[in-house]
C-alpha cells in the first residue's frame, strides 16, 4: 500500500507493507534516526513523536495510520540548525546521560508545554510519565522542562 505523510514539514511517500510500524517508516524509509526503537510495546516512550500535534508512541501506530498526517520527530524540533529552547534546556541542565530516551522525552515535554505552558513539577512528572529513563533519575529532566517553561513559549 502507498502512504504519504508530512514529517518535519517535508513530504514523504512510499509503498509499504500494511503491517509496517510508523517508527520503522520514520527510521528506515525516511532515514530520520533520532526517533529510537526501545521496547516495541509502547512502554518506554523512546519512539515518541507528534502526530497532528498529539504525542504518540510510534511503535504502537502503523505507517498506514500516518497516511495524510503531519508528524514531527526530534529532528523537527530544532529550527534552522539551532536547538529549541527545550533542547537547550536539556543540555544545560544535564537532562540526559546516555541520550537514548532524550528524543522521546523532549517530544513528550514539547507536547506537555503546548497544552500547559506553565506546569508545576508534578504536572511535568505526569507529562513525561510514559517515557522511561534508566540513567538520570528524572530530576534533571524535570528541571530542564521547568526551566524551558519559565523562559517562554517553546512551541
Indicate which CATH number applies to the domain containing 105.
Answer: 1.10.150.120
99 and 58 in one domain? no
Q: Are residues 59 and 118 in the same domain?
A: no
pLDDT at 155: 53
Among 76, 99, 123, the domain boundary falls at 76
Domain span at residue 133 reads 85-151
104 and 59, same domain (yes or no): no
CA atoms within 13 A on the CB side of 44: 16
Q: What is the CATH number for 21?
A: 3.10.20.30
The reported pLDDT for the residue numbered 153 is 66
Structure confidence at residue 79 (pLDDT):
85
- Contact criterion met (CB below 8 Å) for 98 and 90: no
The answer to whether residues 122 and 98 belong to one domain is: yes
CA–CA separation, 134 and 11 (whole Å): 34
Q: What is the pLDDT of residue 154?
A: 67
Of the residues 76, 101, 125, the one at which a domain ends: 76
For the chain (155 residues), the mean pLDDT of every run of 10, in chain order, is 97 98 98 94 94 97 98 94 93 91 96 96 97 90 96 71
Closest by CA position to 104, among listed 28, 40, 24, 36: 36
pLDDT, position 136: 81
Dihedral sign of CA atoms 87, 9, 115, 137 in order? negative
What's the total number of domains in the chain?
2
pTM flag (> 0.85): yes
Please report the pLDDT score of residue 81 as a whole number: 87
- State whether 72 and 122 are in the same domain: no
Amino acid at each position: 500500500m502507498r502512504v504519504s505523510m508530512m514529517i518535519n514539514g517535508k513530504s514523504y511517500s512510499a509503498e509499504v507493507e500494511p503491517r509496517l510500524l510508523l517508527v520503522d517508516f520514520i527510521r528506515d524509509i525516511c532515514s530520520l534516526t533520532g526517533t529510537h526503537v526501545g521496547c516495541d510495546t509502547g512502554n518506554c516512550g523512546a519512539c515518541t513523536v507528534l502526530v497532528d500535534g498529539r504525542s504518540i508512541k510510534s511503535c504502537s501506530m502503523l505507517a498506514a495510520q500516518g497516511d495524510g498526517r503531519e508528524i514531527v520527530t526530534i529532528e523537527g524540533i530544532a529550527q534552522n540548525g539551532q536547538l529549541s529552547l527545550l533542547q537547550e534546556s536539556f543540555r544545560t541542565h544535564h537532562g540526559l546521560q546516555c541520550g537514548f530516551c532524550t528524543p522521546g522525552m523532549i517530544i513528550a515535554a514539547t507536547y506537555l508545554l503546548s497544552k500547559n505552558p506553565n506546569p508545576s513539577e508534578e504536572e511535568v512528572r505526569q507529562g513525561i510519565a510514559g517515557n522511561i529513563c534508566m540513567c538520570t533519575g528524572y530530576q534533571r529532566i524535570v528541571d530542564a522542562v521547568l526551566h524551558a517553561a519559565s523562559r517562554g513559549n517553546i512551541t
